[in-house]
Amino acid sequence: MFNQYTYKSMGAVNRHMQSLGETVTDINNIFTTGYKSKDTKFHETMNGIKGNTRRDLTDGVAKVTNRELDFAIQGKGYFEIQMPDGSYAYTRDGSFTVGPNGELLSAQGYPVVTSRPEAEFINKNYDEINGEAEAYDVGVNSGAAFIPAGSAVAMEPDGTLKTEDGTLIGKLNIVDFTNPDGLKDVGDNVYMATAASGDVVDVEIGLMNNQTEIKQGALETSNVSLVRNMSTMVQLNTIIKAEMKVIKILDQMQENLNSTITRNV
């Protein structure tokens, strides 16, 4: 019986130690661009105090940098980037650079995915007055963006990037998920989609209410609250110490019981 309670208590300690580790990670990333902290809430159950940890998806503050390749997302969504194996990943870190071939790269060195209109030939219609006319439908082509050497980059409110002479570079792809809390953190401020994150959804960019806005020349700061995380650390340390005392008492009770049984045999 005591072993059963000991195992349960050890399981609780392990979970709370994991939450403590996540809290320390949050504090270490207080200056990481676009970082989203973990929010741990505690509640009492029949088996003791439990902690439920979720990612805090609230915006960080957009800090002005005046660098033309810095972009801050304000609202929901993630920048879409392409990994070396061809898969897609997602980040809130908009500190972009230009690669050796002119490609727009993420802070991690991966191509930033953009979209641009692409004329697709559909059919030819004969106009009796003006003669033969070609009919086109505008499609969308997604891929890496390339910036001409020495060109300044300007962004329109909808996320479209152009050079100073009006040459189209591409439109930043901002996407979200039906359950963004289900994204997998693979490190280096990068997330991957999972079955739990649900469907990917294109995010509308603009200046209207409830729309996601992208600010050029700014970076989203971490949303880590040092005060909240320090408070969480104190709570977790208190809980872990209490659980360790319970385990010690259970071990002593088990030892006393074994000694009693041995003497009576």
How many C-beta atoms surround the C-beta of residue 244 within 10 A?
13
Q: What span, in angstroms and rounded, lies between the C-alpha atoms of 208 and 23?
A: 35
Q: What span, in angstroms and rounded, lies between the C-alpha atoms of 49 and 15?
A: 11
- Answer whether residue 124 shows pLDDT above 50: no
**Are 66 and 111 found together in one domain?**
yes
Contact status, residue 203 vs residue 174, Cβ threshold 8 Å? yes
pLDDT band at 233 (very low <50, low <70, confident <90, very high): confident
Q: Quick one: average pLDDT of 81-108? A: 95
Q: What span, in angstroms and rounded, lies between the C-alpha atoms of 247 and 3?
A: 10
Q: What span, in angstroms and rounded, lies between the C-alpha atoms of 41 and 43?
A: 7
pLDDT band at 171 (very low <50, low <70, confident <90, very high): very high
Encoded tokens for 225: 């609250």
Indicate the number of domains in the chain: 2
How many C-beta atoms surround the C-beta of residue 12 within 10 A?
21
pLDDT band at 121 (very low <50, low <70, confident <90, very high): very low
**Are 114 and 51 found together in one domain?**
no
H/E run at residue 91? strand 88-91
Which of 39-53, 76-90, 211-225 shows the lowest mean pLDDT across its residues? 39-53
**Are 227 and 216 found together in one domain?**
no
Question: pLDDT tens, 193-226?
Answer: 999 999 999 999 988 777 899 999 999 999 999 9
Range of the domain at 3: 1-58+223-265
- Residue 177 exposed, middle or buried by CB count within 10 Å (0-12, 13-18, 19+): buried
- Answer whether residue 36 shows pLDDT above 80: yes
Give the pLDDT of residue 172: 94
Q: Quick one: average pLDDT of 53-60? A: 88
Sign of the CA dihedral running 207, 161, 65, 59: positive
| Cβ within 8 Å of residue 72, ≥6 positions away | 34, 62, 63, 94, 214, 215, 218, 219, 220
- Per DSSP, 205 falls in state B
Give the pLDDT of residue 240: 84
* Segment 228-231 long-range contacts (CB within 8 Å, at least 24 positions apart): 228/39, 229/23, 229/26, 229/27, 229/37, 230/27
Q: What span, in angstroms and rounded, lies between the C-alpha atoms of 71 and 69?
A: 6
**Are 45 and 144 found together in one domain?**
no
- Backbone angles phi and psi of 176, in degrees to 5: -135, 180
Q: What span, in angstroms and rounded, lies between the C-alpha atoms of 6 and 247?
A: 6
**Are 194 and 126 found together in one domain?**
yes
Q: Among residues 220, 238, 255, which one ends one of the domains? A: 220
Give the pLDDT of residue 126: 45
Encoded tokens for 191: 């997330």
This model's pTM is above 0.85: no
**Are 43 and 146 found together in one domain?**
no
**Are 125 and 162 found together in one domain?**
yes
Percent of the chain at pLDDT > 70 equals 78
- Residue 242 exposed, middle or buried by CB count within 10 Å (0-12, 13-18, 19+): middle
Which amino acid is present at 263?
R
- Answer whether residue 42 shows pLDDT above 60: yes
pLDDT band at 150 (very low <50, low <70, confident <90, very high): confident
**Are 136 and 235 found together in one domain?**
no
- Answer whether residue 65 shows pLDDT above 50: yes
**Are 82 and 189 found together in one domain?**
yes
**Are 82 and 212 found together in one domain?**
yes
Which of 75-79, 157-161, 218-222, 245-249 shows the lowest mean pLDDT across its residues? 245-249
**Are 125 and 12 found together in one domain?**
no
Which of 59-63, 156-160, 180-184, 240-244 shows the lowest mean pLDDT across its residues? 240-244
**Are 67 and 180 found together in one domain?**
yes
